[in-house]
Chains A and B, each alone.
Chain A
Amino acid sequence: MGIVKSEKTPARAAPLSETTIIGWMSKNLFSSWFNAILTIVTLYIIYITVKDLWIWGISDAVWVAENRRECFSISIDGACWAGVITWMDNIFYGRYPREELWRINLGLILLIVWMAPLWLPRVKAKVLIGVTTVFLYPFLAGYLFAGGDKGIFMQVMISAAIVCLIGNTLHSIIGVTSGSSLDDFLLRKLGKQDAPEKSQHRILLGILLASFVVVYLWQMSWSVEGVSWTKWGGLFLTLVISGIGIASALPGGIILALGRRSRLPVIRVLSTAFIELFRSVPLITVLFMATTMFPLFMPEGFVLNKLVQVIIAVCLFNACYMAEIVRGGLQSVPRGQAEGAHTIGLGYWGTMGLIIMPQALKHMIPNIVGNSIGLLKDTTLVSIIGLFDILGMLRSISRDTPWLGLHKEPLIFGAILFFLICFAMSKYSRHLETKLSTDHKK
């Protein structure tokens, strides 16, 4: 005879260790005598550390003072943040003329406006937006930051950048509101959405040219005062150097990595030698090489300024690291993908550009972001060869007469700033990794 229950057995309540705080604590903090002692000792150490840091950095700290002596007279054990606060502008902008700071801020805002569509939903052609950021934004920003006379080349590039920026912005607004793209929108407004493709292209090209001409004429009416690169500094300079390094690393890295995987021995050997040379030496030696040897390489009378030398060095160095990341990403794509692409008749560039690279890039995101964080941190090395980047500025506080000997506070401030930027970047890359992942595993 079988006993069959007619009603469902009610679920048992979850064990206490899973639901209550005390249960959680007894499982994770006090599971054994040894663990309990460890927990208590650690808690005590944390308490002491946090208390001391609080007293030094917050409660007893001096926020407003004229000089370091005054800091001491107010509080002998507290941090003297007053020095950092007085120097705040220098830390962020270096010795950039104070009345021209709006140019740096505007440059930053333009970058945000330019890149924001990449994160917006329903916007099409994000790759194009990304590419224009890399290839056109630097000209506009470069002119904003450096100023001075615009040559013909710069005038053309600046106009192209402005046209592109306006186009981008309109495109993203249309994209977010209606989900269509700028060209569709324009054609519909002109009532030509049914016209043959060729005349559509002609119309769009016309609009592009007309707006370019208008912008070109308009930009001739203004110019900004030149600011010598020697006045650049602070976080601004750090971001400029690392920004150029990061933006140029991917194209450079892809070329070097393809070279290293090439079937042609000459190209392979040259790329490998180049990559291994730069990867095996410290960045500081590359920077020294740039500042001492580049002048010897240049023809007579042609002088590269130190900033350009440094940027070239950083770009070469970072491209080699990126090349290895790209190579790793390419290797992670199964062979069958390339074979499949060949089967449907794609050539080398078609296979690479349409099949291999898009898959490889996805695998490389964590490493690319890690490398960019590394570069941002390594950019502080330029302070050793005499550029006043953020670390150079932080260190000059302790040489400034009123704040003589103030070392700790500026460095801690700089460390916190870097921590915030780098930590946010790495968290974002982890988020991106899970978002783009098409793996079946969770």
Chain B
Amino acid sequence: MAVSDSGKQSEHVKPKPEFDFFNDERVRSVFYQILTAAVVGWIGWYLFTTTAHNLEVRGMDSGFGFMGVEAGFDTDFKLIAYEAGVGTYGDIFLIGVLNTLYISFLAIIATTILGFIIGVLRLSNNWLISRVALTYVEVFRNTPLLIQIIFWYTGIFSILPRIKNSLDLSGGSETVLLNNRGLYMPWPVPGDLMWMTGVALIVAIIGVIVYRRWAHKRQDETGQILPMFLPSAALIILLPGMVYLVTGSPLGWDLPVLEGFNFVGGATLPPAFLALFVALTIYHAAHLAESVRAGILSVSRGQSDAAMAIGLRNSKVMSLVIIPQAMPAIVPPMISLWMNVVKNSSLAIAIGYPDLVAVFMQTSLNQAGHAIEIVGMTMAFYMFVSLTISGLLNIYNKRVQLVGR
């Protein structure tokens, strides 16, 4: 902005802004933007031409045609049907994506539960308990996740007893077995009429929602509080249970059976999966616990005092007053922590769990080349997940902001 000298101001004459080409703000802003765009554009063009030239010199083709080519390798753990030599790199990409999402999903659920428990224990009025929780948090937060993952894998899950001496976790019935090949569990096989139980479960859930709405409305009108937990639990357990029994228990179990040197049947989780799951959960729960603690502490003491003063029980003080006010402080860090779980599941590569990075970015890239396409696809997947999760966060923040403040 052009500033005139102070002598004129005493005469109350508004100085006429002179158009100074080199110091005009608009000219400068346009100039800087064009300059930045030109530099970035030049870098992009330079990288593009050098890369194209390099690819040509090395005789490498580009494009996504390789996705339809058969991949000649197999993976230890997969959620879709795939056969080495028949399945394509496209299938491998899908296997990787599903494996990443599978372990992340399970680890996120376990992290959330464990993190909340530890966070509440941190605030326990029992000194010993809060110290134990603090030790847990400090130890697992201050050591690298990768060391923890490798420790669980090489130090615990791969030196378990051999198949013959499997640990029996089901208490003698030999249905849930743990050994150095992984965890073997029975897997449910639904019979013909199993769908009816499923329908009954959905009906029961809808029933519970309707009952809750009705009970809330009644409480608003009459002040009478109806029991909530028992009727809900009864409805959800009894209705599907009865349908299940009436239709003749149509659910079979596929049990793991020892045949020769290995178990056949049931479901198997390999040691790498178990190690990654345990390590991700323990590491991120320590981080979540701190967010939970901070969130609960952010609710001022007066709130719980006032809640007790109007005669609420301890559990109601927590569930009706403290937690609802702590949630806006807990949820945003929790959601970004979920994102971290997804990202950190890529460390699977160190112990051979076939996640997206391991099967696609490493094995496929080594075999098929196409570095740019493969790196791009992998990054695009993580960006997609990240955008989805931050979208969730934005929706939540909007809702919280509408409520008040």
Interface of A with B (CB < 8 Å)? 28-29, 31, 35, 38-39, 42-43, 46, 263-267, 270, 276-277, 279-285, 288-289, 292-293, 295-300, 373, 377-378, 380-381, 383-384, 391, 394-395, 398, 407-408, 411-412, 414-415, 418-419, 422-423, 426
Which of B82-90, B121-129, B261-269 forms part of the interface with chain A? B121-129
B150 near A293 with CB under 8 A, answer no
Bound complex: CA of A426 vs CA of B51, how far in Å? 43
Residues on B with beta carbons closer than 8 Å to the beta carbon of A277: 379, 383
In the bound complex, residues from chain B placing their C-beta under 8 Å from that of A423 are 138, 142
Q: Is the CB of A296 within 8 A of B129?
A: no
> Which of A285, A292, A295, A298 interacts with B382 by CB under 8 Å?
A285
A285 and B361 contacting across the interface, CB-CB below 8 Å: yes
Q: A264-B32, A288-B361 are in contact. Are A282 and B57 (CB under 8 A)?
A: no
Q: Check: B147 CB closer than 8 A to any chain A CB.
A: yes
CA distance A31 to B126 in the complex (A): 8
Q: Across the interface, which residues of B come within 8 angstroms of A377, CB to CB?
A: 143-146
Whether the Cβ atoms of A422 and B33 lie closer than 8 Å is no
Top 6 nearest A-B pairs (CB, nearest first) are: A280-B386, A407-B154, A28-B127, A377-B144, A266-B33, A422-B142
Chain A residue nearest to B383 (CB atoms) is A280
Distance (whole angstroms) from the CB of B350 to the closest CB of chain A: 5
Determine if B138 and A264 form an interchain contact, defined as CB atoms under 8 angstroms apart.
Answer: no
| B150 near A298: Cβ-Cβ < 8 Å | no
Which partner residue on chain A sits nearest B151 by CB separation?
Answer: A411
Whether A264 contacts B129 in the complex (CB less than 8 A), given A281-B382, A418-B142, comes out as no
Please name all residues of chain B whose beta carbon is closer than 8 Å to the beta carbon of A296 when the two chains form the complex.
Answer: 50-51, 54-55, 371-372
Taken together as a complex, chains A and B put the C-alpha atoms of A314 and B128 apart, in Å, by 40
Query: A-facing mask of B137-166, CB < 8 A → 1, else 0?
Result: 011011111111011001100010000000
Question: Would you give the shortest CB distance from A119 to chain B, in whole angstroms?
Answer: 22
Q: In the complex, A108→B344 CA distance in Å?
A: 32
Asked if A264 and B29 sit within 8 Å, CB to CB, the answer is yes
Q: Which residue of A is nearest B385, CB measured?
A: A280
Out of B144, B151, B159, B357, name the residue touching A282 (CB < 8 Å): B357
- How many residues of chain B have a CB within 8 Å of chain A? 56
A288 proximity list for chain B (CB < 8 A)? 357, 361-362, 365, 375
Interface string of B335-367 (1 = CB under 8 A from A): 000010001101101100000010001100100
Residue of B55, B154, B387 near A398 (CB, 8 A) is B154
Residue B37 CB within 8 A of the other chain: yes
Whether the Cβ atoms of A285 and B378 lie closer than 8 Å is yes
Q: Is A293 a contact of B372 with CB atoms below 8 Å?
A: yes
Closest chain-A Cβ to B89's Cβ sits at a distance in Å of 16
A380 close to B375 (CB less than 8 A): no
Answer yes or no: B36 CB below 8 A from chain A CBs.
yes
Instruction: Note all chain A residues with C-beta closer than 8 A to B339.
Output: 280
Inside 8 A of A270's CB, which chain B residues have their CB?
36-37, 40
Asked if residues A378 and B144 are in contact (CB atoms below 8 Å), the reply is yes
B313 at the interface (CB under 8 A from A): no
Known A-B contacts A288-B361, A384-B349; the reply to A418 vs B143 at CB < 8 A is: yes
Contact partners of B144 in chain A: CB under 8 A: 377-378, 380, 391, 415, 418
Given contacts A267-B33, A280-B387, A285-B346, contact A300 B151 (CB under 8 A): no
Q: Is the CB of B33 within 8 A of A265?
A: yes
- Residue on A nearest B146 in the bound complex, by CB: A380
Number of A-B pairs, beta carbon distance below 8 Å? 158
- Would you call B217 an interface residue if the criterion is a C-beta within 8 Å of the partner chain's C-beta atoms? no
Residue from B147, B343, B375 within 8 A of A411 (CB atoms): B147
Give complex CA distance A284, B379 in Å: 11
Once the chains are docked, how many angstroms separate the CA of A282 from the CA of B383? Answer: 10
- Nearest CB of chain A from residue B392's CB, rounded to whole Å: 14
CA distance A270 to B344 in the complex (A): 26
Given contacts A264-B29, A285-B361, A373-B142, contact A292 B375 (CB under 8 A): yes
Give the Cβ gap from B145 to chain A, nearest Cβ, in Å: 7
Q: Looking at the assembled complex, report how far the CB atom of B387 sits from the nearest CB atom of chain A, in whole angstroms.
A: 7
What residues on A are CB-neighbors of B387 within 8 Å? 280
Closest residue of B by beta carbon distance from A378: B144
Contact assessment for A282 and B344 in the assembled complex, using a CB-CB cutoff below 8 Å = yes
Give the dominant DSSP class at A's interface.
Answer: helix
Q: Contact check: which of A28, A263, A299, A411 meets B150 at CB < 8 Å?
A: A411
Partner of B128, one of A43, A283, A391: A43
A415 CA / B383 CA spacing, docked (Å): 31
Of chain B, the residue at the smallest CB distance from A423 is B142
A293/B371 in contact, CB under 8 A: yes
Contacts of A265 in B (CB 8 A): 33
- In the complex, the chain B residue whose C-beta lies closest to that of A46 is B132
Task: Looking at the assembled complex, report how far the CB atom of A184 sits from the nearest CB atom of chain B, in whole angstroms.
Answer: 37
B51 touches A39 (CB 8 A): no
Question: Judging by beta carbons under 8 Å apart, are B375 and A414 in contact?
Answer: no
User: Does B346 contact A408, Cβ atoms closer than 8 Å?
Assistant: no
Q: Does B316 contact A (CB under 8 A)?
A: no
A281: contacting residue among B50, B125, B343, CB under 8 A: B343
- Chain B positions within 8 Å of A418 at CB level: 142-144, 147
Q: Is the CB of A29 within 8 A of B128?
A: yes
Give the docked Cα–Cα distance between A345 and B146 (Å).
52
Q: How many angstroms between the C-alpha atoms of A390 and B310 in the bound complex?
A: 58
For the complex, what is the distance from the CA of A402 to the CA of B362, rounded to whole Å? 31
18 contacts between A and B (CB under 8 A): A31-B125, A42-B128, A42-B129, A263-B29, A264-B33, A265-B33, A276-B383, A282-B343, A285-B379, A298-B50, A377-B143, A380-B144, A383-B146, A384-B349, A391-B144, A407-B150, A411-B151, A411-B154
A238 to chain B, nearest CB (A): 10
Given A300-B54, A418-B144: A281 touches B32 (CB 8 Å cut-off): no
Q: Which of A288, A391, A408, A415 has the most CB of B within 10 A?
A: A288
Q: Which residues of A contact B344 (CB under 8 A)?
A: 282
Chain B residues, CB < 8 A from A378: 144
**Contacting residues, chain A, for B375 (C-beta < 8 A):** 285, 288-289, 292-293
Least distance between B143 CB and chain A CB atoms (Å): 4
**How far, in Å, is B78 (CB) from chain A's closest CB?**
21
B226 within 8 A of A: no
Contacts A28-B126, A293-B371, A296-B371 given; indicate if A267 touches B32 (C-beta within 8 A): yes
With A411-B151, A415-B147, A415-B151 known as contacts, the answer to whether A39 contacts B126 (CB < 8 A) is yes
CB distance from B274 to the nearest CB of A (A): 16
Q: Which residues of A contact B350 (CB under 8 A)?
A: 383-384
* Residues in chain B near residue A266, CB distance under 8 A: 33-34, 36-37
Residue of B55, B144, B346, B357 with most partner-chain A CB within 10 A: B144
For B125, list chain A residues within 8 Å (CB).
Answer: 28, 31, 35
Given the known A-B contacts A270-B36, A285-B357, A419-B143, are A407 and B55 also in contact in the complex, defined by CB atoms under 8 Å?
A: no
User: In the complex, what's the smallest C-beta–C-beta distance from A26 to chain B, in angstroms?
Assistant: 11
**How far does the alpha carbon of A209 sit from the alpha carbon of B362 in the complex, in Å?**
53
Question: Does B218 sit at the interface, judged by CB under 8 A?
Answer: no
Contact indicator B143/A281 (Cβ below 8 Å): no
Q: Which of A46, A411, A412 has the most B CB atoms < 10 Å from its CB?
A: A411
List chain B residues, Cβ under 8 A from A292: 365, 371, 375
Q: Does B213 contact A (CB under 8 A)?
A: no
B172 CB to closest chain A CB (Å) equals 24
Question: Which residues from chain B contact A395 at a C-beta distance below 8 Å?
Answer: 150
Min CB–CB distance B373 → chain A (angstroms):
11
Using Cβ atoms and an 8 Å threshold, which residues of chain A touch B372?
A: 293, 296
